[in-house]
Structure 1
C-alpha cells in the first residue's frame, strides 16, 4: 500500500489469499498483479519474476518481505533461501537505479533475550546477503538495503499477544510499531531519497537496539 500510494504499480506473491491487498491497491488507482507462489520453494522465483516483467514491462524494485518463525528448516527456506532466490531472479531484470529491499529484523543485529537463536541466525544471514549483494550489484547501479523492524503489530506477533509484555519492557518508546511505520521506511528507500543508500541496515525498532 505504501508503494502504491507513492505511485508504484505493485505485484505481490501469496500462498493463501491476496484479494484484500489487490482491492486496496486498486483503490489507489495503481495496477496490481497477484501471483500464487511459495517463497520457500526456490523454483517459484524465476517464473514469478518473469511474469511480473511480462505483465508490467519492467521490474524496478524487489521487496523481500516474506518471513516466518518456528521450525528451523522452514525459517531457513523462507527467510534466507527465499530472499536469495528472488534476488537472484530479479537481478536479471533490474535496471541501473533498481532497488532490492530486504526485510530483516532487529534480531539480525542483536539478540536481546534467550530462546530466539534459530530465528536470529536466519536474520543475521539476511544481513550478510544484503551487504554482499550491495557490493556485487553496485557496478550496475543497483542498491541493496535492509529494513530491520523490531516488535511490529502483525498476525505473527500481535501487540496484544502473549509474548507482547516481555517485548514492551525492552522498547524505549513503549509500544509496538504499526506496519505502516515500517512500510514508510521501505517506500523511502525504494524511492528517490534512497538512491545513495546501499549495504545499510535501517532499524525501525523503537530504540530496542540503541
Structure 2
C-alpha cells in the first residue's frame, strides 16, 4: 500500500517543529514513519541548507536562493520522500513547496508562478496528501529567534517577514489545507493535528 505524505507549514516561530515532533512521538509506535525537514533531509540537501542559511552569504541573489531551495528539495524528494511513500510509510516533513512560494515567491518578490514552475520540476509534481498550515493570526515570534542568533532568512527584516505572513494568509484560501490555530496551547494544537491524522491514517499500517 502506498504511504501518506504530510507536511507542516507556516511562518517562522509558529511552532510547527514542536508539533511535528510531538505528532511523530504519538504515532511512531503505530505506523512506519519517516520524520524529515526542509531544506535538508539528506546529506546533500543538508549541505545545500547550510549554504542557503549561512549569514555570511549576504551577497546571494534571490534567484540563486530560490534555485538552491529547489535543488535541495529535488534531492530530498528523489532520495528519501518518494522511496518512503512507495514503501507504504508515513512521511512527516517540516516545510515543502508552500514555504518556497511564501518566502521566495512573496517574501523575495519572485512571484508564485515561477516558484511553482521550478518546484514542479524539482519534485516531479509530488504534492502532499495532508498539509497543516499554522495560522499565527498576525502574531510572530521570529524576533525572539533572531535574538537567539537568526539564520540568513530570519534576519531578512520585518518587511520581508510581513510579506511572508501575508503570503500564508493568501495561500490558506487557495487550496485544501488544514488550517491550524497556532495561537492555542501546544496541547490544543497537537490534539487538532492528531484528530485529523487519526481519521486519515486508518488504512495505513
Higher relative contact order (CA 8 A, sep 6+): 2
**Bigger share in helix:** 2
TM-score, normalized by the shorter chain, greater than 0.5: no
TM-score (normalizing by structure 2):
0.39
Q: If the length of structure 1 is used for normalisation, what is the TM-score?
A: 0.38
